[in-house]
Amino acid sequence: MDLVRDLEALAEGARLSIASASDDRALEELRVRFLGKKGEISAVLRGMGQLAAEERPRVGEVANRVRDEVESLLVLARQRIEDARLEQELRGSRIDVTLPGRRLLPRGHRHPVTRTTEEIVAIFARLGYEVASGPEIELDWYNFEALNIPADHPARDMQDTFYVDGAAIGRPEGEGAVLLRTHTSPIQIRAMKRAGSPPIRVVAPGRVYRSDYDQTHTPMFHQVEGICVGPAITFADLKGTLAAFARAFFGAGTRTRVRPSYFPFVEPGAEVDVSCSICGGSGSRSGARCGTCKGSGWLEVLGSGMVHPKVLENVGFDPAAVTGFAFGMGVERMAMLKYGIADLRLFYENDLRFLEQF
């Protein structure tokens, strides 16, 4: 018998069957059929015992070659099948990223504090004010000194804040304390210094910090302040501007009144009240005392005054040549009055039942 011929025939059969196999299971069956212990190659080799001793090495050599070839054909076929499977999978799951979404997700909206800030700023922008910003971590000079609040001034007690270790943020010693700003007024100082000379008209929204926490105070809150400096700016300009603002923010029928008050950076200083937006200034609502204005018909909304000559001097303006007025308000308070919200802390609890009402 011719074992070499049998092996060659076996190899040819293996090539054909492996080439036509289409899945892993078929390949595994072929592996067992050709290479297994009871497979075809082993069967041929079992006949070697009947061969003459000198023929055995040649047959052994051919058997090894055929075994190697079948093994590598199986490896290649496995790769071919795997590639085809991947190809199929990629075709099947093709995604068109340009298609619109199938489901419209609920869209969020701006926080009431953000909305109120934007509303206030937009009103002053219509009056010709530029919007300015400044750092929340501020130097003592901008936050207090430049605003006529020296180190021993009692107004500092009302604005106790959080101090920052100057050395830790790389400030050289002797440059004064570093703190979280207690109001947005330092932005006005920076804006005036940046402008270099009057006239200037800016509105400054931003976060401010004080060490307070109760129903009407949070350690962080928002202010919008504004300043207008130029030749012959008078108290009448202050009243007219703030009355126009109040009508735009609270409604066309809103009245304003001005009461004397004290702030270190203005002289004279004034509180501005508006007629109550809930009861229309009557002090009562459906026969009962109005809770929002506590029956007075008036709401305190902002502080204001004519810019103190010392503040003008501190930024290099000549108080003999120019005058100006400044004002400031708490954004949370404005939102509370406009929307009838009783507790300031609601703004920061992130409760969607509250936030989704705006």
Q: Does 293 bind Zn ion (CB under 5 A)?
A: yes
Residue 123 vs 299, nearer CB to Zn ion:
299
Residue 227 vs 293, nearer CB to Zn ion:
293
Q: Does 300 bind Zn ion (CB under 5 A)?
A: no
Q: Does 290 bind Zn ion (CB under 5 A)?
A: yes
At its nearest, how many Å lie between Zn ion and the CB of residue 252?
Answer: 17
Residue 13 vs 295, nearer CB to Zn ion:
295
CA distances 133 to 75, 206, 316, 335, 338, Å, are 69, 7, 20, 21, 25
CA distances 234 to 14, 125, 240, 269, 290, Å, are 105, 20, 10, 13, 35
At its nearest, how many Å lie between Zn ion and the CB of residue 339?
Answer: 14
At its nearest, how many Å lie between Zn ion and the CB of residue 283?
Answer: 6
CA distance 180 to 223: 14
CA distances 222 to 112, 160, 181, 355, Å, are 12, 16, 11, 17
Type of residue at 32: V
Residues 247-286 that bind Zn ion (CB under 5 A): 276, 278-279
Kind of pairing between the strands at 266-275 and 298-307: antiparallel
* Total number of residues that touch Zn ion (CB under 5 A): 6
Residue 112 vs 281, nearer CB to Zn ion:
281
Residue 127 vs 278, nearer CB to Zn ion:
278
At its nearest, how many Å lie between Zn ion and the CB of residue 242?
Answer: 19
At its nearest, how many Å lie between Zn ion and the CB of residue 272?
Answer: 16
At its nearest, how many Å lie between Zn ion and the CB of residue 329?
Answer: 18
Specify whether the CB–CB gap between 209 and 220 falls below 8 A.
Answer: yes
Residue 3 vs 279, nearer CB to Zn ion:
279
Place of tokens 């007690």: 157
Binding mask 143-162 for Zn ion (x = CB under 5 A): --------------------
**For Zn ion, which stretch binds (CB under 5 A), given 112-120, 131-139, 198-206, 290-298?**
290-298
Residue 274 vs 331, nearer CB to Zn ion:
274
Q: Of 315, 211, 307, which is closest to residue 266 (Cα–Cα)?
A: 307
Residue 17 vs 292, nearer CB to Zn ion:
292
At its nearest, how many Å lie between Zn ion and the CB of residue 282?
Answer: 7
At its nearest, how many Å lie between Zn ion and the CB of residue 292?
Answer: 5
Q: Copy the structure tokens of residue 355.
A: 């936030």
CA distance 112 to 336: 10
Helices then strands, each counted (H, E), the chain: 12, 12
Q: In what order do the strands lie in the sheet with 178-180?
A: 137-139, 178-180, 163-164
- Residues of this chain that interact with Zn ion (CB under 5 A) are 276, 278-279, 290, 292-293
